[in-house]
Amino acid sequence: MLFKRILVIVDGSPTSQYAVDASLTLSREDGSSLLFCVSVDPELCGAESGMVAFGEIAIGRSQQLLDEALARARAGGCSGATGVIVRDDPVRGAVAVANKNDVGLIVLGVAPRVGILRPFMQSLAHEILVKTTIPLCVMRRPAIGRLSHRILVPIVDDALSRHAIEYAITLAQHFQSTLLFCTLAESSAMRSVAQSLVENARAYAGERGIAGESFLLDPRQNVSQTIAHNAVVHGCDAIVMATHARAGFQRLVEGSVTEAVIYSSNVPVMMVRAPSS
Render pLDDT for 162-206 as a digit per residue (tens, 0 to 9).
999 999 999 999 999 999 999 988 777 788 999 999 999 999 999
- Pairing mode, if any, of strands 178-184 and 33-39? unpaired
pLDDT in tens, 56-113: 788 888 999 999 999 999 999 998 999 999 988 889 999 999 999 999 999 999 876 5
Half-sphere exposure of 164 (CA within 13 A, CB side): 27
The confidence score (pLDDT) of residue 253 equals: 33
pLDDT band for position 50 (50/70/90)?
low
Strand partners, 270: 137, 240
- CA 85, distance to chain mean position in Å, is 22
**Per-residue pLDDT at 203:** 98
Q: Looking at this protein, which amino acid is placed at residue 268?
A: P
Report the candidate in 24, 25, 33 with the shortest Cα–Cα distance to residue 3. 33
Q: Tell me: pLDDT of 247 over 70.
A: no
Alpha carbon distance 234, 245 (integer Å): 28
Q: Assess whether pLDDT exceeds 70 at residue 246.
A: no
Position 212 pLDDT exceeds 50: yes
Q: Is the pLDDT of residue 130 over 50?
A: yes
Quick one: pLDDT at residue 183?
94
As a whole number, mean pLDDT of residues 22-29 equals: 93
Question: Higher confidence at residue 121 or residue 101?
Answer: 101
* Range with the poorest average pLDDT among 130-134, 148-152, 185-189: 185-189
Task: Tell me what the pLDDT averaged over the chain comes to.
Answer: 85
Q: Which pLDDT score, from 0 to 100, does residue 106 have?
A: 96
Q: What is the pTM of this model?
A: 0.89
Strands 150-154 and 105-109: unpaired
Work out the angle at residue 274's Cα, subtended by the Cα atoms of residues 236 and 103, and round it to the nearest 5 degrees.
75
